[in-house]
Amino acid sequence: MLSITDIWPLFGIKVTSPNLVMRIVRDEDIPGIAEAALAGIHDPATMPFSVPWTDEPREQMIKNMAKHQWKLRTTVRPDHWTLNFVILLDGVPIGTQSIGAKLFSLTKSVSSGSWLTANHQGKGYGKEMRAAILLFAFDYLGAEVAESGAAAWNEPSLGVSRSLGYRANGLKRVVGRPGQLTHMQELRLAAEDFARPTWNIAVEGFEAARNEVLLPAP
């Protein structure tokens, strides 16, 4: 009998780091991700995201979050994708980590975004999940550059980037909340500058999913 992973091989990717397990978001993960988001991600006085999705009323926020997961899934094609991973701590979703690329075969560049539920922030998990996704991007996908960005005031996010070797790559003006200007610190990490962690990731399911995201070698 066919399994969902036979039909959608990306669901088979599993990245394990010392404390965390990362899997491409499945429908069964969505309620747990919603709970992690509803428990609170950031001080409502500020907005760390360039799309202010956490400002929506609770019911709408989790509905939109689910729609976002489904949209990401349906827009994956080789060379052009955003992969969103649920972050599991002892099997429980505590946040998400994404990497995305456009024309990856040419750019060899990925961008990333992440969040953790508030009571799991500041414990090193943000750094661990970004390091894990960078190991996956550089060592499995063959990325040469990783980009990121954070509001110029977002010290925890900038701290993660700084500690992994990213360098400042300019300031960008974006409008996050309607009518509200945010200065985004752009960041860039070349593979050779990556401050690699002392540990490595274990990856399952990548070979079966390779052709979903990478173009065949010429």
Of the residues 63, 123, 172, 177, which one makes contact with ligand COA according to CB under 6 A:
123
Q: Kindly state whether residue 100 participates in binding ligand COA, applying the rule CB under 6 A.
A: no
Distance of CA 12 to the CA centre of its chain: 17
| Piece in contact with ligand COA (CB under 6 A), picked from 112-120, 166-174, 201-209, 210-218 | 112-120
| Piece in contact with ligand COA (CB under 6 A), picked from 9-17, 72-80, 116-124, 204-212 | 116-124
Q: Kindly state whether residue 115 participates in binding ligand COA, applying the rule CB under 6 A.
A: yes
Of the residues 116, 133, 135, 213, which one makes contact with ligand COA according to CB under 6 A:
116
* Binding letters toward ligand COA, positions 146-185, x by CB under 6 A: ----x---xxxx-xx--x----------------------
Q: What is the dihedral of CA 146, 150, 155, 156, to 10 degrees?
A: -60
| Piece in contact with ligand COA (CB under 6 A), picked from 2-10, 113-121, 170-178, 203-211 | 113-121
Neighbours of 76 (CB within 10 A): 16
25 touches 93 (CB < 8 A): no
If DSSP codes are grouped into helix, strand and coil, which group holds residue 22?
Answer: strand
Straight-line distance from the first to the last Cα atom of the chain, in angstroms, rounded to the nearest whole number: 34
Report, in this order, helix, strand and coil percent for the chain, each rounded to 5. 40, 30, 30
Residue placing its CB nearer to ligand COA in the complex, 41 or 132: 41
Of the residues 104, 125, 136, 138, which one makes contact with ligand COA according to CB under 6 A:
125
CA separation for the pair 112, 97 (Å, rounded):
7
CB of 102 to ligand COA, least distance (A): 19
| 38 to 34, 61, 169: CA distances (angstroms) | 6, 9, 33
* Binding letters toward ligand COA, positions 31-60, x by CB under 6 A: ----------xx-----xx-----------
Pairing verdict, β 202-204 and 14-16 = antiparallel
Report the interface residues with ligand COA, using CB under 6 A.
Answer: 41-42, 48-49, 114-116, 121-127, 150, 154-157, 159-160, 163
